Structure 1
């Protein structure tokens, strides 16, 4: 199955934070001089100096606005092609840079994120980039650097519904993200970021139990199984290791890892990244489990030649062999290695394609 990754070398792109910083620099330069630099160059945290073409710009007596279309390169980023705008006006003397959420940029409503409740969802690293960009314009054109910067992304509220922002308590639009300013294609950094923030929000809410699920069906099923609220559900996708490693550093009382039989088989095999790029279901491995369960030679051979993990499961079931519990138990062993010595409770839940429970382990801590 294709991963959707283009063939050949992949283009890097730019984060919404980098686009916002460049737009703010151009807008502040125009506010001070009347002219918009186009293209406008900024300095990224690691010293790169990319230049951005302006898509829109306008200026009045007391405010200037510039906008840049985000190019995420070859990464399948939900904000690729979005217009990121910065409007800049003078602020009170000595005020520095103040941030406002414009159209399509969210506001933080839950504790646990790296910004206080009530703040625009412009993350700390993009704020630092915007401050740097404003300082560069101030130094070049004799400005004070005391400004109010409004960041907006037209259509951002609709785009945000495709992200985890609503679950994280960011309402009204997108978060302005990025630490390096650069989007690395297929790095899935935004997904990992969302996993981390989901855990932070759950911890800040005082929850003692979270569940990471590989997909929507297993997420709904594990929520029913344990009676968990939405805020306790972590959309980990394939990144079991990314979730567990963050929980190890930021402990929570109990974590459930939930998924379909195929994904949980890969966890049982020892994978912490469950994507197809990391490895496939090993049918010989499954056949060995069937043999250990007492399967006859014919059944073992059939499992070894199965077309899919579900096919292997059905072959075992027809022989009266409980393959799913064996997979759940070994999946627990893989996940427990990450949490060893933390005292964090761990259990595994395996579901079918309709959300039916195939197997679960008891909650216990890893030695």
Structure 2
């Protein structure tokens, strides 16, 4: 789910899976009650505008109707762009609107999400949108009836493997998402939502600490390091460190561990809470100043200016516990993190490209500047070692 390069020129917005499912629900109910083919419907999005959707398929009989559309995500690199979203509707005698599991839509298996365990992963706003169009169509036909809605996504189970659903306990398919109905190209909204949901799931499963990390490579190492923690403890922040820390700060978590690669750590230490390359870059002069503060002579500091990437700092300062440079870097990172989280105890795992790591601890003994460092490999016996 990393950001891709944003193309030049104006970008076209698209529609969420929730908006597509709502259009299919309306079309299918119109087809069922009117006993006629429906090829286009209009729905009003939560964001305000009324938009038209073309239905690619529509079948019906006296008992049920099924309609499908292709999701258009505009210019956003969404994994569901072009996917077939469909809904099957039937009337029921309960007087309620029921959401049934359909192929390609995941099932919630862990507490902590806005949807109860055992329910299809259709988020609250899409459910509200579908309920609204059902009420609209029933009123048009002068009926009072319950309606069952089964949302499906062709190939959804395979698409879900490209999302963070698995770590949220959503199995068997994708989620039906959307708060406005509109997909904004290259928006971070979906990724940040997954971070928030991930922490909520960890809390709902009784955890008091999480391990936040930048992605699959760093998480693989951290899972070995903190093998006593379950999978839901590990949250990928990508580049959105600030949003992740804000969620942690608003939560009752007792502590957290932050895994970070050397290049991102330099950006964070400089004060960047978004480490994407289009938002921040490393400043060699600033790093030279950091090295001087750590007590290094001028010739060592001058060598920093010859580096092309912050990740290559290990060429100047061997990645080892004895190097004061990394302890000072960790202190600067912690200072920036602390502007968001306050004095909450935390652990920082600094990693290099060779999968070596240094672990620094802050605040576990009540002192904001306490720290210890370890080098690969280390043993880890408890969540908060004394």
Interval of TM-score (by shorter of Structure 1 and Structure 2): over 0.9
Structure 2: tracts of 5 or more residues without a match? 369-386
- TM-score scaled by structure 2? 0.89
Contact 1:213 / 1:235 at 8 angstroms: preserved in 2? yes
CA distance in 2, matches of 1:159, 1:80: 10
Shift of 1:145: 5.0
CA distance in 1, matches of 2:57, 2:17: 16
Shift of 1:3: 4.1
Contact 1:290 / 1:316 at 8 angstroms: preserved in 2? no
Residue aligning to 1:247: 248
Contact 1:212 / 1:256 at 8 angstroms: preserved in 2? yes
Q: Check if 1:59 corresponds to 2:60.
A: yes
Q: Which secondary structure state, in structure 1, belongs to the residue aligned with residue 313 of structure 2?
A: helix
Contact 1:98 / 1:149 at 8 angstroms: preserved in 2? yes
Pairwise mapping of residues 275-290 of structure 1 onto structure 2 (< 5 A)?
275-290=276-291
Contact 2:93 / 2:145 at 8 angstroms: preserved in 1? no
Contact 1:324 / 1:359 at 8 angstroms: preserved in 2? no
Shift of 1:105: 0.5
- TM-score scaled by structure 1? 0.94
Q: Which secondary structure state, in structure 2, belongs to the residue aligned with residue 277 of structure 1?
A: coil
Contact 2:79 / 2:162 at 8 angstroms: preserved in 1? yes
CA distance in 1, matches of 2:324, 2:222: 20
Residues 302-356 of structure 1: per-residue CA shift (max 9 Å, x gap):
2033211122332133998432222222111111111126xx3222111112322
Residue aligning to 1:109: 109
Q: How many residues were matched structurally?
A: 363
Residue aligning to 1:33: 34
Q: Which secondary structure state, in structure 2, belongs to the residue aligned with residue 280 of structure 1?
A: coil
Contact 2:345 / 2:362 at 8 angstroms: preserved in 1? no
- The one of 311, 336, 339 aligned to 2:338: 336
Pairwise mapping of residues 310-321 of structure 1 onto structure 2 (< 5 A)?
310-317=311-318, 321=323
Residue aligning to 1:222: 222
Structure 1: tracts of 5 or more residues without a match? none
CA distance in 2, matches of 1:180, 1:79: 17
CA distance in 2, matches of 1:126, 1:251: 29
Residue aligning to 1:78: 79
Contact 1:329 / 1:361 at 8 angstroms: preserved in 2? no
Q: Which secondary structure state, in structure 2, belongs to the residue aligned with residue 149 of structure 1?
A: strand
Pairwise mapping of residues 96-245 of structure 1 onto structure 2 (< 5 A)?
97-144=97-144, 146-227=146-227, 228-245=229-246
Q: Which secondary structure state, in structure 2, belongs to the residue aligned with residue 163 of structure 1?
A: coil
The structure-2 alpha-carbon separation of the partners of 1:23 and 1:145, relative to structure 1 and needing over 3 Å to count, comes to farther
Between Structure 1 and Structure 2, which shows a larger proportion of helix residues? Answer: 1
